[in-house]
Amino acid sequence: MKHLIPDFEKMKERFPAGFESSLVLPCLHRIQADRGFVADEDIDGLVAYLGVPRVQVEEVLSYYTMLRREGIGRTHLQVCRNIACSMRGAEGVIEHACKRLGVKPGETTADGQFTLSTVECLGSCGTAPVMMVNDAYHENMTLAELDRLIEELRQP
Amino acid sequence: MPRLTIDGREIEAKAGQTVMEAAREHGIFIPYFCWHPQLSVPGNCRICVVGVDDKGGEWVDIACNMPVSEGMVVHTNSEKVRARRKATMQFITLNHPVDCGICDKAGECTLQDYHYEYNGERSVSVDAKVHATKHHDLSERIVLDNERCIQCTRCVRFTREVSKSNGLGMISRADHSLVRAAEDGSFGRDPYSDNVIDICPVGALLSRSFLHKARVWYLKPTASVCPGCSRGCTVNLWHRRPEWRLKAPGMRTANESIDRVTPLENPAVNGPWICNKGRDLAALLGRARAEVAMLKGRPAELQGAIARARALVASARRPVAVVSSWASNEELAAFKASLGARFATFVKADCQPEPGEVVEDALLIRADKNPNTAGARALFGDAPLAIPPDADLVLVWGEGLDFGLIPPGAAIIHLNAWLAPENGHADVFFPVSIQTERDGHYTNFAGVTSAFAKCFPKAAGVADAAALFPALAGAGGGE
Q: Given CB atoms, is A58 within the 8 Å cutoff of chain B?
A: yes
Neighbours of B260 (CB within 10 A): 21
User: What is the average pLDDT across B430-457?
Assistant: 98
Q: What's the CA gap between B137 and B134, in Å, rounded?
A: 9
Q: Which of B209, B260, B265 has its CA nearest to residue B233?
A: B265
Contact A59 B183 (CB under 8 A): no
Domains of chain B as residue ranges with CATH: 3-92 (3.10.20.740), 136-207 (3.30.70.20), 218-285 (2.20.25.90), 293-472 (3.40.50.740)
Beta strands in B156-301 (DSSP E): 168-171, 178-181, 205-207, 219-225, 234-240, 260-263, 293-295, 298-300
Q: Are strands A75-80 and A114-119 parallel, antiparallel or unpaired?
A: parallel
Contact B171 A62 (CB under 8 A): yes
Q: Given CB atoms, is B139 within the 8 Å cutoff of chain A?
A: no
Nearest-neighbour CA in chain B from A58: distance (Å): 7
Contacts of A51 in chain B (CB under 8 A): none
Contact B169 A63 (CB under 8 A): no
Q: What is the pLDDT of residue A156?
A: 64
Q: Given CB atoms, is A62 within the 8 Å cutoff of chain B?
A: yes
Q: What secondary structure letter does DSSP report for B119?
A: I
Q: What's the CA gap between A68 and B175, in Å, rounded?
A: 20
Contact A34, A4 (CB under 8 A): yes
Neighbours of B39 (CB within 10 A): 8
Nearest CA in chain B to A53: B166
Nearest CA in chain A to B173: A63
Q: What is the pLDDT of residue B476?
A: 45
Q: Given CB atoms, is B164 within the 8 Å cutoff of chain A?
A: no
User: What is the average pLDDT across B135-149?
Assistant: 96
Q: Given CB atoms, is A54 within the 8 Å cutoff of chain B?
A: yes
Q: What share of chain B is helix, strand, coil (3-state, %, to 5)?
A: 25, 20, 50
Q: What is the pLDDT of residues A24-37, one digit of tens each?
A: 999 999 999 999 99
Contacts of A59 in chain B (CB under 8 A): 169-171
Q: Given CB atoms, is A63 within the 8 Å cutoff of chain B?
A: yes
Helices and strands counted in chain B (H then E): 12, 22
Q: What is the pLDDT of residues B26-40, one digit of tens each?
A: 999 999 999 999 999
Q: What's the CA gap between B83 and B77, in Å, rounded?
A: 10
- Position B477 pLDDT exceeds 50: no
Best residue of A50, A55, A59, A69 to probe chain B, by most B CBs closer than 10 Å: A55
Q: What is the pLDDT of residues B175-215, one digit of tens each?
A: 899 999 999 999 999 999 999 999 999 999 999 999 999 89
Q: What's the CA gap between A60 and A28, in Å, rounded?
A: 9
Q: What's the CA gap between B116 and B127, in Å, rounded?
A: 18
Contact A61, A27 (CB under 8 A): no
Contact A55 B169 (CB under 8 A): yes
Q: Given CB atoms, is B431 within the 8 Å cutoff of chain A?
A: no
- Position B320 pLDDT exceeds 50: yes
Say how many Å lie between the first and final Cα of chain A, rounded: 31
User: What does R_g of chain A's alpha carbons equal in angstroms?
Assistant: 18
Q: Which of A79, A108, A76 has its CA nearest to residue A96?
A: A79
Q: What is the pLDDT of residues A49-95, one digit of tens each?
A: 999 999 999 999 999 988 999 999 999 999 999 999 999 999 999 99
User: What is the average pLDDT across B337-360?
Assistant: 96
Q: Where are the alpha helices (DSSP H) in B151-280?
A: 154-161, 195-199, 252-255, 276-279
Q: What are phi and psi of B107, to 5 degrees?
A: 100, -25
What rounded mean pLDDT belongs to chain B? 94
User: What is the average pLDDT across B291-299?
Assistant: 97
Q: Which of B324, B300, B334 has its CA nearest to residue B473?
A: B334
Helix (H) or strand (E) holding A47: helix A40-50
> Which distant-in-sequence residues (6+ apart) come within 8 Å of A86 by Cβ?
A129
Q: What's the CA gap between B301 and B293, in Å, rounded?
A: 6
> Which distant-in-sequence residues (6+ apart) come within 8 Å of B420 by Cβ?
B290, B399
Q: What's the CA gap between A97 and A91, in Å, rounded?
A: 10
- Position B479 pLDDT exceeds 70: no
Q: What are phi and psi of A118, to 5 degrees?
A: -105, 140
Helix (H) or strand (E) holding A151: helix A143-154
The dihedral through the CA atoms of B178, B184, B190, B194 has a sign that is: positive
Q: What's the CA gap between B405 and B385, in Å, rounded?
A: 10
Q: What is the pLDDT of residue B119?
A: 81
Exposed (0-12), middle (13-18) or buried (19+): which is B15, by Cβ within 10 Å?
exposed
**H, E, C per residue of B361-381:** CCCCCCCCCCCCHHHHHHHHC
Q: Select from B168, B173, B182 the Cβ nearest to the Cβ of A63.
A: B173
Per-position b or e across A66-80, b if 16+ CB within 10 A of its CB: bbbeeebbebbbbbb
Q: What's the CA gap between B148 and A54, in Å, rounded?
A: 26
- Position B123 pLDDT exceeds 80: no
Q: What is the pLDDT of residues B400-423, one digit of tens each?
A: 999 999 999 999 999 999 999 999
Nearest-neighbour CA in chain B from A19: distance (Å): 15
